[in-house]
Amino acid sequence: MEQKKPVLSDATGEHVYHCAKCGLCLNACPVYRETLVESHSPRGKVQLAKHIIEGDLDITKHMSDILFSSCLLCGSCVAACPSGVRQDALFSGLRWRAAERYGLGFTKKLFFQVLSRGWLMSTSAWFGKWVRKIFGGPWIENRMKVGNLPVAGVPPMNAKPFNDEFPEIVRPDGAVNARVLYFHGCATNYVFGDVGRAVVSVLTRMGVEVEIPKNQSCCGLPIFLSGDRKTSLTCIREVVHAFSRKDVDAVIVDCATCGSALRNEYVHILKELRDLGEGVDDDLVAAAEHLAGITKNVSEFIDAHRDWLPPFPPYTGEKIRVTYHDPCHLVKGQNVGAQPRRLLKLLPTVEFVEMAEADRCCGGGGEYQIEYGDMSARITNRKVENVRKTDAEFVATGCPGCNITIGAHVAKDHVKAIHTVQLIRNALDGKGPGE
């Protein structure tokens, strides 16, 4: 039975034939740059995908390892590919088939089932218990390192979920310039509550009415990318139903990954599942298309409506050096890179410095850094070195994953990672970046 199923939909599979094997993705891939082995390169894996699709190569256990261990699904190859090949779609599709065959690791499975049922995580006490269970042991207390992640530098969980802090609709004082839905994602809800507060604060001061739907689901992308498509589909359905609305001006997202899910991945994934007969209908695809059209990254939205910002109060303190790290899912996935820089340069509190290779992956890749610590560390070290060279006190970024990875590694240098929108909020408050 299993044999009859095509590995990937025809539309996705056709991508392998458009790879010119030119190799321009090799240099873009953070993993290839470290190992210099073709099977770790995007070109290599596309060629393997071709053999799998044509049926002369089986998804062996070794192949499955290659798919999971040598790819952060950062999308750098997609951005670098002149031929327009969607390596991400090919690789995540193959991960799905690999996961069907070999299963997900126990920790991963639990992690994703929990993410997909956001309501289970309604108390932080439960969350803590769950985290301990997942990573097996008292590492939080002992401040150990899991994989490549030095736990000492990881921020603590929110005292209560962000979503519980606000009423469902937050209105600005005075005239309303726009109405938006705020998709806050798991990271803001459970870890970076202050990012959410900053988003609401800045937007309302711009005259934007912010609606924060209750019971928001995980965007589903981390789950999807790891091959567990069934679980991720639950998430996607919920998000599309709750956020694909015609009566709002935009859906605002503060997380790079969630944003690229809502505006790039959903439509693609749903079409693929529809074509493979996995119970997705045209209405769902159409709703996802509408959602993709109205989703905006928070920095992008603020930048586009800079004229709505109130004047910054005068700041007399010393300017603080801030550099910016481009999250892969933001700059490559959504072409958002100039906007946060423009905003940072606007702030009276900030002296902006560019770091070398700002758009190179930080090596985190969500749970990649936990499972494949050595490789992740090699990539992260390069990023940390580039941060150090700027002498910045803050690394601004737009992704909770990068924030955790970079923040944890630069903590010992007294450098902090922070979301761009937090810096904007602080400046509007007349405060320095770190106050």
Ligand X SMILES: Cc1cc2nc3c(=O)[nH]c(=O)nc-3n(C[C@H](O)[C@H](O)[C@H](O)COP(=O)(O)OP(=O)(O)OC[C@H]3O[C@@H](n4cnc5c(N)ncnc54)[C@H](O)[C@@H]3O)c2cc1C
57 binds other proteins (CB under 8 A): yes
Q: Which residue number, 84 or 156, has a Cβ lying nearer to ligand X?
A: 84
Q: Which residue number, 24 or 80, has a Cβ lying nearer to ligand X?
A: 24
Q: Which residue number, 125 or 338, has a Cβ lying nearer to other proteins?
A: 338
Backbone φ, ψ for residue 297 (5° rounding) = -70, 145
Q: How far is the CB of 380 from ligand X (least distance, A)?
A: 28
239 binds other proteins (CB under 8 A): no
Backbone φ, ψ for residue 72 (5° rounding) = -95, 5
Region binding other proteins by CB under 8 A among candidate stretches 16-24, 159-167, 213-221, 231-239: 16-24
Q: Which residue number, 62 or 246, has a Cβ lying nearer to other proteins?
A: 62
Beta partners for residue 324, in sequence order: 396
Q: Which residues contact 237 (CB under 8 A, 6 or more apart)?
A: 284
Task: Compute the distance between CA of residue 34 and CA of residue 293 in angstroms, rounded to an integer.
Answer: 37
62 binds other proteins (CB under 8 A): yes
Task: Compute the distance between CA of residue 191 and CA of residue 212 in angstroms, rounded to an integer.
Answer: 17
Q: Which residues contact 252 (CB under 8 A, 6 or more apart)?
A: 180, 181, 182, 183, 199, 203, 210, 296, 297, 298, 301
In contact, 147 and 373? CB cutoff 8 Å: yes
Residues engaged in binding ligand X (CB under 6 A): 22-24
Q: Report the Cα–Cα distance between both ends of the chain, in Å, rounded.
A: 61
**Partner interacting with residue 114 (select from other proteins, ligand X, none; CB below 5-8 Å by kind):** none
In contact, 279 and 273? CB cutoff 8 Å: yes
Could you say which of 11, 22, 120, 169 contacts other proteins (CB under 8 A)? 22
24 binds other proteins (CB under 8 A): yes
Chain centre distance of CA 2: 32
Q: How far is the CB of 26 from other proteins (least distance, A)?
A: 5
Task: Compute the distance between CA of residue 323 and CA of residue 392 in angstroms, rounded to an integer.
Answer: 6
374 binds other proteins (CB under 8 A): no
**Partner interacting with residue 381 (select from other proteins, ligand X, none; CB below 5-8 Å by kind):** none
**Partner interacting with residue 288 (select from other proteins, ligand X, none; CB below 5-8 Å by kind):** none
Count how many residues are written for the chain: 435
Could you say which of 5, 18, 214, 412 contacts other proteins (CB under 8 A)? 18
In contact, 146 and 123? CB cutoff 8 Å: no
215 binds other proteins (CB under 8 A): no
C-alpha dist (Å) from residue 388 to 13, 384, 393: 42, 6, 9
Q: Which residue number, 22 or 152, has a Cβ lying nearer to ligand X?
A: 22
**Closest alpha carbon to 346 in 317, 319, 327:** 319
47 binds other proteins (CB under 8 A): yes
Q: How far is the CB of 82 from ligand X (least distance, A)?
A: 8
Instruction: Show contacts with other proteins in window 102-141 (CB under 8 A).
Output: none
Q: Which residue number, 39 or 234, has a Cβ lying nearer to ligand X?
A: 39
Could you say which of 44, 118, 153, 259 contacts other proteins (CB under 8 A)? 44
Q: How far is the CB of 24 from ligand X (least distance, A)?
A: 6
In contact, 49 and 62? CB cutoff 8 Å: no
Question: DSSP code of 430?
Answer: T
Task: Compute the distance between CA of residue 380 and CA of residue 370 in angstroms, rounded to an integer.
Answer: 13
83 binds other proteins (CB under 8 A): yes
Q: Which residues bind other proteins (CB under 8 A)?
A: 17-24, 26-27, 36-39, 44, 47-48, 51, 57, 60, 62-63, 66, 81-84
